[in-house]
C-alpha cells in the first residue's frame, strides 16, 4: 500500500514535468513532423535511456557526488550548454543558407538527418545525459518517494520506470500529433519556419543552461 502510494504520487509529479513543453518536446515534434518517424522514436528511446541512467545512478547514490561537487556540475553544465547551442546555431545557420528549401536526408543534418533509429537514439541520449538538471532533479526528488525500509535501488528503479512509461505515452501522442503537420511541412517555407523556431528554442535552452546557477 505504501509503495503503491509512492508510485502514484511520483507519477503525478513527473507527469506534470513531462507535460511541460521543453527541449525534449521540441526535438520529438520537429523530427517526427518532418516525416522521420523512426528517427523520432530513436530520439524518444534515447531520452528514456538517459532517464533510466539518471534514475539508476541516483538510486546508487552516484549523482549525489555530482551535485556535491561544484566543479563536476559546472563542467557538465557547460558541456551540455555547448552541445545545445551548437545544435541550435547550426540549424539556424543552415536555414539562412537556404539548405532547408529541399528535403534534407544527409547525415550531417543536426536534428533530422536520415530516418534511422540509431541516429535519433544517440541524439536523445546525449541531450538527456548532458543536462545536469536532470541529475539534480532526481537527487532532490527521487529519495523523497522511497518508503522507509524499502530497497533503495529497486524502489528507485521502479519510480524511474514510472517516469519512463509516462514519457513514452506522451511521446507517442506528440509523434501522432506531428503527423497532422507533415503535409503542411512539405512546403519549403513551412520547414524553414519550423527549423528557425526549433533552432532558436534549442539555442536558448543552451544559453539558459550556461547562465544557470
pLDDT average, residue stretch 53-82: 76
pTM: 0.72
Q: How far is CA 73 from CA 50, 63, 82, 83, 213, in A?
A: 17, 10, 14, 15, 10
Q: What is the dihedral of CA 86, 80, 196, 111, to 10 degrees?
A: 80
Q: Are 160 and 56 spatial neighbours (Cβ–Cβ below 8 Å)?
A: yes
Q: How confident is the model over 75-128, as pLDDT tens digits?
A: 767 876 787 788 778 778 877 775 544 444 333 344 545 678 998 999 999 988
d(CA 183, CA 14): 33
- Say whether 132 sits in a helix, a strand or coil: helix
Give the pLDDT confidence score for residue 64 in this predicted structure.
66
d(CA 42, CA 119): 7
Using CB atoms within 10 Å of the CB of residue 80, give its burial: 0 to 12 exposed, 13 to 18 middle, 19+ buried: buried
pLDDT band per the 50, 70, 90 thresholds, residue 63: low
d(CA 56, CA 81): 24
In sequence order, which ranges of 34-131 are alpha helices (DSSP H)? 37-60, 62-68, 70-96, 117-129
pLDDT average, residue stretch 184-198: 72
pLDDT average, residue stretch 21-40: 83
Residue with cell 561537487: 69
Angle, to 10 degrees, between the axis of helix 117-129 and the axis of helix 70-96?
140
Percent of the chain with pLDDT over 70: 80
Give the pLDDT confidence score for residue 107 in this predicted structure.
37
pLDDT of 68 above 70: no
Q: How confident is the model over 132-186, as pLDDT tens digits?
A: 778 778 877 888 888 888 888 899 999 999 999 999 999 999 998 887 776 666 6
pLDDT band per the 50, 70, 90 thresholds, residue 44: very high
Amino acid at each position: 500500500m505504501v509503495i503503491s502510494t509512492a508510485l502514484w504520487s511520483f507519477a503525478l509529479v513527473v507527469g506534470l514535468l513531462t507535460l511541460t513543453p521543453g527541449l525534449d518536446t521540441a526535438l520529438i515534434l520537429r523530427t517526427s513532423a518532418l516525416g522521420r518517424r523512426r528517427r523520432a522514436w530513436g530520439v524518444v528511446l534515447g531520452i528514456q535511456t538517459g532517464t533510466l541512467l539518471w534514475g539508476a545512478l541516483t538510486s546508487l547514490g552516484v549523482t549525489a557526488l555530482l551535485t556535491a561537487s561544484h566543479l563536476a556540475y559546472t563542467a557538465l553544465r557547460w558541456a551540455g550548454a555547448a552541445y545545445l547551442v551548437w545544435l541550435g546555431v547550426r540549424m539556424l545557420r543552415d536555414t539562412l543558407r537556404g539548405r532547408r528549401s529541399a528535403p534534407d536526408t544527409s547525415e550531417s543534418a543536426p536534428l533530422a538527418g536520415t530516418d534511422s533509429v540509431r541516429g535519433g537514439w544517440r541524439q536523445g541520449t546525449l541531450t538527456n545525459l548532458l543536462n545536469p538538471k536532470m541529475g539534480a532533479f532526481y537527487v532532490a526528488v527521487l529519495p523523497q518517494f522511497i518508503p522507509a525500509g524499502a530497497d533503495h535501488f529497486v524502489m528507485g528503479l521502479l519510480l524511474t520506470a514510472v517516469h519512463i512509461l509516462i514519457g513514452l505515452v506522451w511521446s507517442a501522442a506528440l509523434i501522432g500529433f506531428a503527423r497532422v503537420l507533415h503535409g503542411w511541412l512539405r512546403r519549403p517555407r513551412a520547414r524553414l519556419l519550423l527549423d528557425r523556431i526549433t533552432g532558436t528554442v534549442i539555442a536558448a535552452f543552451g544559453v539558459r543552461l550556461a547562465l544557470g546557477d
